[in-house]
Structure 1
Amino acid sequence: MVLSTQQPLLSRLLTVRRTSEALIAPLEPEDLCLQGMADASPPKWHLAHTTWFFETFVLGPFQPDHRPADPRWGYLFNSYYETVGPRQPRPQRGLLSRPGIAEVLAWRRRVDASLEQLFSAGEDRRWSGLVELGLQHEQQHQELLLMDLLDGFSRQPLEPCYRSDWEEAKEAPGSERRWLEHPGGLVEIGQGSHHDSLHLDSANLDSFHFDNEGPRHRVWLEPFALADRLVTNADYQQFIADGGYQRPELWMSEGWSLCQTKAWQAPRYWRREGPEAPWQWEFTLAGRQPLQPQRPVRHISWFEADAYARWAGARLPSEAEWELSARERSDELLQATGDLWQWTASPYRPYPGFQPAAGAVGEYNGKFMTSQFVLRGSSRLTPEGHSRLTYRNFFPPASRWMAAGLRLAR
């Protein structure tokens, strides 16, 4: 799917909605309620939740002719909007075998028809920004659907294949890492202004940003350097061979405790034939595949990324260093977007002057600004046109099911 910034909002919206449904085409009916862990959600739930979002925040207030779903579905498919009402506990979403997929898809059709009817009288700034937010929200869930599915399939002894033609992140050209120097100084990062926290302008895709990406503000940076490429599987194998998972001096205390408790020995989806055998395989959306040495290492936690960087005599970049380098050295900074999200050293906190939007949509990002770290870039799973250099993804430091890798700094 390719979205043009010149496409009208309704056209982009319907394209995104169709793309979500295309993602489940390779699945069996039994896969649609698959939830491999508490942090994941089943594919059917993603399709229903994104539909609930439009019905709740757009059609409910602005389209009185819309026929809503069974009101009990609001409990099933609300995610974390406390001001809207209670919800099904996240770890138990896999229990929602009903409504069936046919009912969910019929609901999606009805919501899409009501959205088209809403647009028939022309766009209205009272709701066009909310539609844009819903569109971007659904793209986030498209990526989450695939990451959650990968986790679920990885737990199945048959190691099922989602798509045989699926390709992971590509190798970086060349073989030698280069360091891109920057003098630092007083720089600006972020989007918008101090009076523009939740940006919902639907004029074009390039103008949109989530509220946590702003406001634009100044940051002082000491001189630094960023590696021009991501850390590879071959690089990471050297860390493992040098006892990286057995050396507590490389790890943060919490990370070392997790490493021992969970018996981490390699990235999340690496595979081998026995406890003493070399790591030769990687589980992917195309099933088990040979581990490619020059592809970027993926599905590692912040703790693993931090330990690797310390072992390599380097560190993780701050999100300001990453954004500045991606903006000013775009011709040299390889794999900045489109391969893997990249862990940074920055905790997920509000920018100076951040103000969440009023109402329930203000719960979108701000309420999670604790106990998490920022990732920058985008991944192979990120929908086309959804990434920005200011995009702030965020996850707890122990998470390793997301498509995350690392880039070194010093």
Structure 2
Amino acid sequence: MSKEIITTFKTIRKHTETICKPLQIEDYSIQVVQFASPAKWHLAHTTWFFETFILKNYAQNYVEFDANFNFLFNSYYNNVGTRILQTNRGNMSRPATDKIYEYRAYVDAKMMEFLSDVSDAEIIDLVTLGLNHEQQHQELLMTDIKYMLGHNPIFPVYDADFNLIKDTNSNADSIKIKAGIYKIGYQGNDFCYDIELGVHQVYVDDFEINNHLVTNGEYLEFMESGAYSDFNLWLDDGWSWVNKNDIKSPLYWYKIEGEWHYYSLSGLQKVDKNAILSHINYYEANAFAEWKGMRLPTEFEWEIASQQLNWGKRWEWTNSAFLPYPNFEKANGAVGEYNGKFMSNKMVLRGASVATSQNHSRPTYRNFFNPSESWQFTGIRLVK
């Protein structure tokens, strides 16, 4: 087991740094909005996780890299101590980026020593949680980089060959699911998050779900119909969001000389009408479904149909609030803060996206975000 976990550890830790390679040094510290953290912070926080929850607790004679880092790079774990406000993550010009890479190298070396002689199943499980945590941050890192560059007035190119929003649907059919009682929840033996556990039965009525996602062209028709000014299509919260923020198009869309363009990590380009829609929030997804005379699937319908669906290109909004499954239990201490305390004012997304790390998706995975958020690679699948 030690050899396998060491190999996985090295691979995942290296990938986080690979994501940062196209960045210039000035890019590492930028935080242009509260929810999008600087690249430097992601590099440090994912390292802090291993130092705080594993090395400090289990490695003999471990010497902390820097006593200030617990305050600087703790995210939301109240059990671990005080931390800076999330809005201040971009204020840290110091510690410098090279110091953060030193921190990663130091912790990685200590983890290699520790993992070479560990066999305790509970510790291995905690390391596995840390690796899955880092993979979550790899996707957040990618989307935060896009938000940073996508709000730069000159729309800098991250990588000319790295366009994550050009993919198209491979079919145009739909799938009919019979009414019945179905099992929901993770039933395997590999890693999953606590919020996927608690296998239980749900009843669903007959439904028909599209085996394709909404395209840019379809959404453009919605926009051109005057949808962003038609209150009849919107939930009340959504209509308030539209008006408060003067929303007229999806995130990263810009009308230039009468033609729609959008920002991708490979630069600003004309909207491809055949490509799958991306960066849409729950309010927009729900309004589009209303406009089409259809609806969003519940997370249970999505999971039941998932074996027959082509999924994985976009995180797909469901019509389900993020709530606990039956028999859900939070772990004691800081690890128990990982998911359970966020079960308020959030909607569930299912699937994965083009930015999701390899081997970090499964049909039972429950992602969750505020209904106004669209900086992830989110899309729309419809049901009738």
Aligning the two structures, in what range does the TM-score lie when normalised by the shorter sequence?
Answer: over 0.9
Q: Identify the match of residue 36 of structure 1 among 29, 32, 39.
A: 32
Q: CA deviation at 1:121?
A: 1.7
Deviation (angstroms), 1:179: 2.1
Match of 2:129 among 128, 133, 156: 133
2:290 corresponds to 1:323: no
Amino acid at match of 1:325: A
Q: Are the aligned partners of 2:2 and 2:117 in contact in 1 as well (CA < 8 Å)? A: no
For the 8 Å contact 2:2–2:115, the answer to whether it is kept is no
- Which of 278, 282, 287 aligns to 2:259? It is 278
RMSD: 1.5
Give the equivalent residue in structure 1 for 2:372: 398
Cα deviation for residue 83 of structure 1 reads: 0.8
Contact 2:3 2:116 in 1 (8 A): no
| Larger relative helix fraction | 2
Residues in 2 aligned to 1:400 and 1:122: alpha-carbon distance in whole angstroms:
41
One-letter amino acid matched to 1:84: V
List structure 1 segments (4+ residues) > 6 angstroms apart after TM superposition.
Answer: none
Write out aligned runs for 1:43-54 (5 A).
Answer: 43-54=39-50
Structure 1 segments unaligned to the other structure (5+ residues): 194-205
CA deviation map 1:259-291 (0-9, x unaligned): 0111111110112215xx232x11011111221
Q: Determine if the alignment matches structure 1 residue 227 to structure 2 residue 207.
A: no
Distance across 1 between alignment mates of 2:106 and 2:54: 14
- The Cα of 1:300 is off from its aligned counterpart by 0.9
Aligned length: 383
Query: Where does residue 360 of structure 1 map in the other structure?
Result: 334
How does 1:81-96 map onto structure 2 within 5 Å?
Answer: 81-96=77-92
Report the Cα distance in structure 2 between the residues aligned to 1:299 and 1:112, rounded to whole angstroms: 34
Conservation of the 8 A alpha-carbon contact between 2:2 and 2:116: no
Is the 1:340–1:377 contact (alpha carbons within 8 Å) kept by the matching residues of 2?
Answer: yes
Instruction: Please give the per-residue CA displacement for 1:214-246, whole angstroms capped at 9, x wherever unaligned.
Output: 111111101111001000001101101111111
Aligned partners of 1:56 and 1:122: how far apart in 2?
17
Q: Could you tell me which amino acid in structure 1 is paired with residue 67 of structure 2?
A: P
Checking the alignment, whether the CA contact within 8 Å between 1:192 and 1:215 is kept in structure 2 is no
User: Is the counterpart of residue 159 in structure 1 residue 161 in structure 2?
Assistant: no
Match of 2:358 among 375, 384, 387: 384
Does residue 340 in structure 1 map to residue 323 in structure 2?
A: no
Identify the residue that residue 242 of structure 1 maps to in structure 2: 225
Aligned to 1:260: 243
Measure, in 2, the Cα distance between the counterparts of 1:192 and 1:326: 15
Aligned to 2:169: 172
Superposition map of 1:201-216 within 5 A: 207-216=190-199
Distance 1:184 1:299 in 2: 32
Partner of 2:184: 189
Residue type of the alignment partner of 1:74 = N
The answer on whether the counterparts of 1:375 and 1:393 sit within 8 Å (CA) in structure 2 is yes
| Identity across matched positions, percent | 39
Which of 51, 56, 65 is residue 52 of structure 2 equivalent to?
56
Q: CA deviation at 1:192?
A: 4.5
SS where residue 349 of structure 2 aligns?
strand
Amino acid aligned to 2:256: E
Give the aligned partner of residue 197 of structure 1: none
SS of the counterpart of 1:266? Answer: coil
Tell me which residue corresponds to 1:201.
none
Note the alpha carbon deviations across 1:26-80, whole angstroms, 9 max, x for none.
1111000011101110000000000000000010111023221221111100000
Pick one of 88, 104, 109 that aligns with 1:113: 109
Aligned pair 1:305/2:285, yes or no? yes
What one-letter code is carried by the residue in structure 1 that aligns with 2:41?
W
Deviations 1:280-306 (A, max 9, x none): x11011111221111111111100000
Unaligned runs of 5+ in 2: none
> Does the 8 A contact of 1:34 with 1:149 survive in 2?
no
Match of 2:274 among 294, 302, 305: 294
Residues 338-384 of structure 1: CA distance to partner in whole angstroms, max 9, x if unpaired?
A: x1100000000111110011111010000001100000111111011
Q: Residue 200 of structure 1 aligns with which residue?
A: none
Give the distance between the partners of 2:355 and 2:279, measured in 1 at CA. Answer: 13
Q: Distance in 1 between matches of 2:245 and 2:2?
A: 48
Provide the rounded CA distance (Å) in 1 between the counterparts of 2:289 and 2:178.
21
Match of 2:170, SS state, is: coil
Match of 1:74 in 2: 70
1:125 is displaced (CA, Å) by 1.4
* Greater displacement, 104-113 / 44-53: 104-113
